[in-house]
Structures are given as structure tokens and as C-alpha cells.
Amino acid sequence: MFDFEFHNPTKIIFGKDKESLIGSELVAAGHRKVLLLYGQKSVQKSGLLDRVRRSLTESGIAGVELGGVVSNPVLSHTRKGVELARQEKVSAILAVGGGSVLDEGKAIAVGALANEDIWRFYSGRAEVRKALPLFTILTIAATGSEMNGNSVITNEETRQKYNIGSPHVYPQVSILNPELTHSVPPDYTAYSAVDAIAHVIEGFFTKEPGTRLQDRLVTAIVRTVMETTDLILADPSHAQARASFMWTATLALNGLTPAGIGPYSFPNHMIEHSLSALYNIPHGAGLSIVIPAWQKWYHYKNPIQFELFAKEVFGLETGSAGIEALEQWFAAIGSPIRLHEAGIPAEDIEKIAANAHDLATLWGIGDLYTRENIAAILRLAA
């Protein structure tokens, strides 16, 4: 165990129809006018947006609307949101959607109170010191953004997918109704599963061995994600599996599993950010390509953790067998495991490595993740 601080003040309201409580939650927190942020048509078609509007109206809250957030949310649209939030003097952001909408909501919450361009925070040139309060209604379980202080935005001009992590952007209230996720299609269900697993295994494999509680929390989460994903792919309306998957994905990145494990890094996310920044593929699809390759390249550096994972997740004896089993499971649920499956040409590996190395440098892991090493990892995914 290493020293740590843990402070996660987000209030989770979990269950059927709980989105109807959003108006009263906002009123209780003193809000009268909010920016209602959402993505594409699905929240309109499903009727969710209308239910949210009704809850706001019934509580006497004005909702200034901004739709059109895209997956891998982009800087240009974020800037629009910042401008709108400032102009309309909203006192909070209400993000309704998946991780992309929530992440952009966090960016807008920061930008609305800042005197400088929002990208400066993501590119490491400014530190987040305040943000508008954020409220969320989640429609896809995957990123954990509903209960953490992380946000990832893509700068379309520079092709950089960069992040912030700040205590100021934890959502104040997040409403999780697992029924809203029943319509998530099989491919995105699979990508979400990969993402949730990726969130817990980054720390597991890059930390020192020895923190057994945290190891067990990680394998508990991985096993539950795998089990519930298989159930959901067999029956997309499996209510128990959808609910369990949703809460598990939240716990996968809410600060619980890394608390006390000491130094660790996020190399798979680092490399994947370049794939989705350059090719606009779903984050989870990029991760299922990167993870097996990275594991094959890295496992000699931390054999105890790889053996533990193989044993506790798959009942297998060697680290290599565990790596193969995870890769096969990614393939079985329909997530790509090689670059070409996502339409990424092997000839681009050097270009991807250069992009990823910039982020590695920003994250302070550029010494290990040189362009050469990143290229070597990517060649294992070719």
C-alpha cells in the first residue's frame, strides 16, 4: 500500500425511471437555468430528452439546449458550448448521454468559468481551478465519466485526443437508469466492455505487485464485466446483466481500484487515443486492438501480475495463456483485435507512434514509450 487520497463526492441515483428526479435534484442544489447538453438522435427518438425537458419544466428550470455532441467529442463543438454557457449565464451543465456527452459537459463546465481557451487545460498549459456544477443522466455504461473527474476531448485540427483530470469536474449528481442502456447495440456493448476492463487493468499491470485487496477488486470487476457482457450479447434486454454491467463500469474508473496501489500508468489508453484521434474509431474498438499487443510486449516486466490475472480471471496457469484468453474473448464479443479490422493500414504505424509519443511525453511516460517502442507494440497488432 502507498499513500493516497480518496475523495469522490458524486451522488449516484441508480434505478428505473430515475431520470424523472433530475428537476428536483437541480432545484435542491439551487439551479434555475442550465445548459442541457446531448448528442445525436437516439436520446430524442427514445423519448428520454422529452422526459428530461418535462422534469425541468415541472421544476421551473430553464434548459438552454445544445445537441450534436459526437462520439470522441471535438474541440470545436465544445467551444460552442462554452460560448453558449457564458452567454446564457447558466449556473450548471446537465449532460444527457454517454461518456462523450459527459466529457464534453465537463469541458464546457470548465470553459464557462475560465478566462482562457478550453484547449489550454487539455494540452497541459493551464490548471483547472473551478467549474460549473455538472449533473448527468447516463445512457451508455462504459467510460465511468459519471463518477470521476476525467474528461477527454479531441482537437480535430491538431489531431490530438487529450484529457484533464480534476476534482472540480466530478459530477454533483449522476442518474443511472440501466433500462436506458438496453438499446445499446452489440458492437457498442462490446466496445464498452473492453473500455471498462481497460480502466481497471491499466493499474493492475503497471503497478508493483503486492496490493492484494486492489488486485481482488480488479478481478471482481473484470469477471463481472465479462459475465454480464456475454449475457447481454445473448439477450440485449437482460435487465439484471445490464444493471450490473452499468454499475460495474462506474466502479471501474471512480478511483476505487487504484487507491493505494502507488505509481501506475495508462499506456493502452495513451496509444489508443492516437488511433481514435487519427481514425475516429470507437475508443473501445481501439483498446481491444492495443491491449493484446501491449500485453505481449510488456508482460515480461511484471510477470507476477500477469500470472495472477490469468489465474483469477481465467483459471489459467501462465501469464501468456491469460493474455491469449483475453484477446480471444475480445474477438468473441466482436471487438477488433488487429489494426486492419478497424481499417487502419500497417503502413501508418510510424505516424501513429509519433502521435502517441507526444501524449506519452505529456503524461511523463515518454522514456519508456519512445516512438520505437510504440511502433513495436503496434506491429504486434498488425
Yes or no: say if 382 and 347 are a contact pair by the CB < 8 Å rule: no
User: Smallest distance, Å, CB 157 to a copy of itself?
Assistant: 39
User: Smallest distance, Å, CB 197 to a copy of itself?
Assistant: 14
- Per CB under 8 A, the list member of 113, 256, 331, 376 interacting with a copy of itself is 256
Return the closest-CA partner of residue 26 out of 105, 137, 169: 137
Query: Residue 234 interacts with a copy of itself (CB under 8 A)?
Result: no
- Per CB under 8 A, the list member of 124, 240, 345, 354 interacting with a copy of itself is 240
Yes or no: say if 369 and 270 are a contact pair by the CB < 8 Å rule: yes
Yes or no: say if 306 and 205 are a contact pair by the CB < 8 Å rule: yes
- Per CB under 8 A, the list member of 55, 160, 211, 268 interacting with a copy of itself is 211
Nearer to a copy of itself, 113 or 220 (CB): 220
Alpha-carbon gap, residue 319 to 307, rounded angstroms = 4
DSSP three-state, residue 254: coil
Pattern 165-194, binding to a copy of itself, x per CB under 8 A?
-------------x----------------
Query: Per CB under 8 A, which of residues 275..294 are in contact with a copy of itself?
Result: none
The set of cell numbers assigned to 238 is 437482460
Yes or no: say if 54 and 24 are a contact pair by the CB < 8 Å rule: no
Nearer to a copy of itself, 1 or 354 (CB): 1
Nearer to a copy of itself, 176 or 194 (CB): 176
Query: Per CB under 8 A, which of residues 141..160 are in contact with a copy of itself?
Result: none
Which residues on neighbouring strands pair with residue 152, listed in sequence order?
A: 163
| Other beta carbons within 10 Å of 340 | 12
User: Smallest distance, Å, CB 201 to a copy of itself?
Assistant: 16
- Per CB under 8 A, the list member of 136, 181, 189, 224 interacting with a copy of itself is 224
User: Smallest distance, Å, CB 173 to a copy of itself?
Assistant: 9
Q: Which residues contact 3 (CB under 8 A, 6 or more apart)?
A: none
- Per CB under 8 A, the list member of 35, 196, 200, 243 interacting with a copy of itself is 243
Yes or no: say if 93 and 101 are a contact pair by the CB < 8 Å rule: no
User: What is the identity of the amino acid at 326?
Assistant: L
- Per CB under 8 A, the list member of 51, 86, 223, 238 interacting with a copy of itself is 223
Stretch near a copy of itself under the rule CB under 8 A, chosen from 7-15, 62-70, 98-106, 148-156: 7-15
Yes or no: say if 220 and 314 are a contact pair by the CB < 8 Å rule: no
Task: Kindly state the helix (H) or strand (E) to which residue 332 belongs, with its residue range.
Answer: helix 319-332
User: Smallest distance, Å, CB 8 to a copy of itself?
Assistant: 7
- C-alpha dihedral sign at 227, 179, 21, 100: positive
The set of cell numbers assigned to 372 is 520505437
Whose cell is 478497424? That residue is 342
Q: Which residues bind a copy of itself (CB under 8 A)?
A: 1-16, 18, 178, 210-213, 216-217, 219-221, 223-224, 227, 240, 243-244, 247-248, 251, 256, 259-260
